[in-house]
Amino acid sequence: MADAFTTRTIDIATGSKETVHDLTAACAAFLRDAANGRDGLLNVFVPHATAGIAIIETGSGSDHDLLSVLQDLLPDEEDRWRHRHGTPGHGRDHVLPAFVPPHATLPVIGGNLELGTWQSVLLVDTNVDNPRRQVRLSFLG
C-alpha cells in the first residue's frame, strides 16, 4: 500500500506576462515513474491564490482565446478591484480561481493519462507579479 500514493512538486517559470503553460508532458513524465502501469487518479494542484488549472485544447489559439476571455471577464482596471496591491488590476488575479480552479483530477488507465484527443493540462497564470509557480502532481492508484 505504500506505493498507492505518490506526489511531486514541479517548478514552472511563468515569466512576467499572463500565460497558459502546458503541463501535459510533465504529467505524463510523472506518471511514468509514479503509476508504474497502474490505474488510478492524477490530481494536479497549484498552491497559489492567483493561478488555476484548465483542461482545454492548445496549439490552435485556444490558449490565447482563454486569456482574452479572462481579460474580458476580469479586466485589469485598478479602480474596479477592492483588492489593491501589486501591479494595477492585481485584484483580478485573486478572482481567477473562481473561474479557473486551482486543481483538476484526471483518470489514469494503465499508467497513462486519459485525456480526450485535443485536451491538454494547463497552468493558467494571469499574475505578472510572480514569475515562478509550483504545481503539485499526486497519483493515487
Instruction: Look up the CATH number of the domain holding residue 64.
Output: 2.60.120.460
- Helices 91-99, 62-73: crossing angle, 10 deg rounding: 120
> 129 vs 89, which has greater pLDDT?
129
Mean pLDDT of 13-33: 96
- Of all residues in the chain, the percent with pLDDT exceeding 90 is 84
The per-residue pLDDT for range 104-125, each reduced to its tens digit, is 999 999 999 999 999 999 999 9
Range of the domain at 9: 2-140
Asked if the model's pLDDT at residue 57 lies above 90, the reply is yes
**Taking the model in full, what pTM does it have?**
0.94
Measuring CA to CA, which residue among 46, 31, 16 is closest to residue 130? 16
Cα torsion for 50, 55, 59, 60, to the nearest 10°? -110
pLDDT value for 2: 55
All three cell numbers of 84: 489593491
What is the reported pLDDT for 28?
A: 98
Q: Express each pLDDT in 92-105 by its tens digit.
A: 999 999 999 999 99
Q: Provide the domain count of the chain.
A: 1
Say yes or no to pLDDT of 88 above 90. no
Asked whether the CA dihedral 58, 59, 63, 69 is positive or negative, the reply is negative
Identify the bridge partners of residue 113 per DSSP, sorted by sequence position.
108
